[in-house]
Structure 1
Amino acid sequence: MPRRKLEGEPDWQTPNADGVLPAPPHDKTGHTWHHDNALLFEYTKLGGKGALSARGVNDFNSGMPAFEDALSDADIWNVLAYIRSTWPEREQQIQASRNPAH
């Protein structure tokens, strides 16, 4: 079921019977803001398994689906920008500091 308020799924820090963590909240109570933009983009586009595999992590079973067939790259960046815009200033600044300067 889609979560329209960025709240994630119940008990998101407890793996289910398959060892997969439920979707975390994307507000300040979750961990989305702990990651840089590149990982957030890859996670959304490639799904959790694809994004982590591309980074050499093959032993983590992620439930995050890939959206590369449903959303354009621009759409993904727009969704991520919206999520970032909902965070308090402190979380926005911390997350921004994790992105390499261009």
Structure 2
Amino acid sequence: MAIAVKKASVIIGVLGVLAFGAGLFMYESLRDTRQAFIDPSDQELVANGKGIYANNCASCHGAKLEGQPNWRIRQVNGRLPAPPHDESGHTWHHPDAVLIDITKNGLVPGVTAPSGYVSDMPAYDKLLTDHDIRAVLAYIKSSWPKQALAAQKEITQQRPQ
């Protein structure tokens, strides 16, 4: 009889683990799939991002997020200068997932840039952690006016098509 009770306990335990796994799978599949918004009101994240930006981004995108002069005009080599990340640029037109991808992988033709496009934007995936990249983006976004930030938040949180 003791063996039967032990077998029943093992079976019940296995069924419990399976039920938990199935429940977790269902929860994840039904969960809101909107992208997480990088919140620039997180002052610690913004302060961290300011230093990372100064050390890794400011040499091209400007100490005050102003970008390089004439950033919309192609240089002799056919490449565009670094754009501003303040409200005068187009950074706020992109969802956070795209901004993270560009920062990690650079501008990839056919993915985050037109096919055949060549850019001076380096990939930072080996230099910066995901947290560092989120901090830099929080710092950049902290400079945007409320309207630009609200528009970018809406773009970020739209469901994928």
Partner of 1:59: 116
Residue equivalent to 1:9: 68
Task: Name stretches of at least 5 consecutive residues in structure 1 with no aligned partner.
Answer: none
Q: What count of residue pairs does the alignment treat as equivalent? A: 100
Structure 1 counterpart of 2:133: 76
TM-score for both structures, normalised by structure 1? 0.87
Distance 2:123 2:91 in 1: 16
Q: TM-score w.r.t. structure 2 length?
A: 0.57
Higher Rg: 2
Match of 2:93 among 11, 34, 38: 34
Q: Is the 8 A contact 2:98 2:112 kept in 1?
A: no
Gaps of 5+ in 2: 1-57
- Once structures 1 and 2 are overlaid, which stretch shifts more, 89-98 or 59-68? 59-68
Whole-angstrom distance in 1 between the partners of 2:127 and 2:150: 30
The answer as to whether partners of 2:107 and 2:113 remain within 8 angstroms in 1 is: no
User: Aligned pair in 2 of structure 1 residues 56, 4: CA closer, same or farther (>3 Å)?
Assistant: closer
One-letter amino acid of the counterpart of residue 156, structure 2: N
Please tell me whether residue 100 in structure 1 is matched to residue 157 in structure 2: yes
Q: CA deviation at 1:64?
A: 1.0
**Alpha carbons of 1:47 and 1:55: their partners in 2 closer, same or farther (altered >3 Å)?**
closer
Distance 1:55 1:79 in 2: 19
The equivalent residue for 1:47 is: 106
**Runs in 1 of length 4+ with deviation above 6 angstroms?**
none
